[in-house]
Structure 1
Amino acid sequence: MKLRRRESQAPKGAPGWMVTFSDLITLILVFFILLFSMSQIDMLKFKAITESFREQFFDFYPSVVPLDNPAGIEADMPVNDKNEGKANENSDQDSTDESLENLLTEVQSFLDKNGMDDVIIANRTERGVVLVLQEKVLFAPGEANVIADAHPFLDKVGELLKNLPNLVKVEGHTDDRPMNSYRYPSNWELSAARASSVINYLIEEHQLDSSRFIAVGYSDTRPIVPNDSPENRQKNRRVEIVISDPKYSKDDLVSN
């Protein structure tokens, strides 16, 4: 009797290598999901996930790349960097203060040299260097047109400003006596017109850039002394030319 050969049967299910391959694909998928989640969660959640992931996987395959601070999450600035930043800010402020002190010295020397120190007062304030000109030097009482006798003084100021890049604010100030004329119904109109007249003269006679200038009228709202005597009222009737600190913008100057 002839024996029948038993045919070998193929093993059921997937080949053995598929298990390893599936595990590898799963791990890669988990890894990329984790990377994606890192970019959207906060630091506390990230640290918790990192520790959990490290316990499950990286204990067997330690990484040479630290994961405590992933890309896209800023670390706190080191103390040294913070100190360095503060030092740079202080250095910049010191440099600005020094430049303004030098400017004040230059202006005062200019006034002394041209015999104007008894007509124009130069002060250093937080806004910059301020030139104070009394009303009697520039205008007739109740008027805003620059008188001819003021031209030599303003010409010297124009020469000074031509060599400086700073913004310039010109302020008109009056005393508290009411103003009531057809041209200037109040001290507001008079003070603003006087500031504008000074700027117009400087621009037209010395070809200065008009974008550097701001004209403001303050009426009697910013007296330097009480309006309680003729002498004090005379001091309050003035024009101030503010050669600004470089840190000030035009908007800053208008509000200061």
Structure 2
Amino acid sequence: MKRRRRPASQPPGAPKWMVTFSDLITLILVFFILLFSMSQIDIVKFRTIADSFQQRQILEFYPSVISFDNPSAEPDMESEESKRREAEQDLNALLSNIQSYLKENKLSDVVVATRSERGVVLVLQEQALFASGEAKVLPDAYPFLDKVGVLLSEIPNFVKVEGHTDNRPINTYRFPSNWELSSARASSVVRYLITTEDLDPKRFIAVGYGDTRPVAPNDKVENLQKNRRVEVIITDPAYEEQ
């Protein structure tokens, strides 16, 4: 009798095609994981769209559901604009109060209050603040400076105080030139304001310009008097110093 051949035994383990199939499935899985990881859902835009549908305002009020690339920044812009308007109102109210005070106390001849791009500008003539060639604030100037200090305590604006002189030279022990005199006068005004009303010194800056910024030609007594002045600028936050 012939012996029957036994069929060849299958190799142990999974079939070869199963390995290839597993690799394919793994690659597909990795591909979809990469797609998911690279996609980002903009929660802000999604909520904007959802709210628009709920309020039914897509076609009635908005030409586009999403009006800005970054909707979350819109409230900040509105807040800044609101602050600017509030600052403008504060400056206008401040100017009105000072002008009324000057008129009531008959100080308009020696103190002028105006509004410029820099803010509210108070121009104080020398005779309203100092004796000739001196930088100590006169007692007669206290009531007006007290009024300015009270008004400044109600607003947060920065204040720049500028000292100016005419072109006549000065040469004393305390003030070798007009630079020292103008700087000392500006500093005296700042020191008085921050002391009497306990204002934050960081809000103030004192600058002396000597005779470099006249408002009139130094050719007669009246013009020399105009150039000897101190300017107090309650600055507009929107103004940038040049």
Q: 1:221 to 1:71 in 2, by over 3 A?
A: farther
Residue-by-residue CA offset, 1:168-215 (whole Å, 9 max, x unaligned): 211101112222222111111110000111112222233333222211
Tell me the SS of whatever aligns to 1:16.
helix
Q: Distance in 2 between matches of 1:185 and 1:156?
A: 33
Scaled by the length of structure 2, the TM-score of the pair is: 0.73
Q: Distance in 2 between matches of 1:95 and 1:159?
A: 19
Q: Distance in 2 between matches of 1:226 and 1:103?
A: 31
Aligned residue in 2 for 1:47? none
Q: 1:187 to 1:101 in 2, by over 3 A?
A: same
Counterpart pick for 2:135 among 132, 144, 159: 144
Aligned residue in 2 for 1:106? 97
5 Å-filtered alignment, 1:1-256, equals: 1-10=1-10, 14-30=15-31, 80-81=67-68, 88=78, 93-247=84-238, 255=241
Q: Distance in 2 between matches of 1:103 and 1:157?
A: 9
In structure 1, the gaps of 5 or more residues are 39-66
Tell me the SS of whatever aligns to 1:20.
helix
Residue-by-residue CA offset, 1:197-252 (whole Å, 9 max, x unaligned): 1112222233333222211111122222232322112111100111121346xxx6
Q: Distance in 2 between matches of 1:192 and 1:148?
A: 20
Q: Distance in 1 between matches of 2:117 and 2:211?
A: 22
Scaled by the length of structure 1, the TM-score of the pair is: 0.70
In structure 2, the gaps of 5 or more residues are 46-63
Q: 1:224 to 1:14 in 2, by over 3 A?
A: farther
**Aligned residue-pair number:** 216
Stretch deviating more after TM superposition (128-137 or 145-154): 145-154
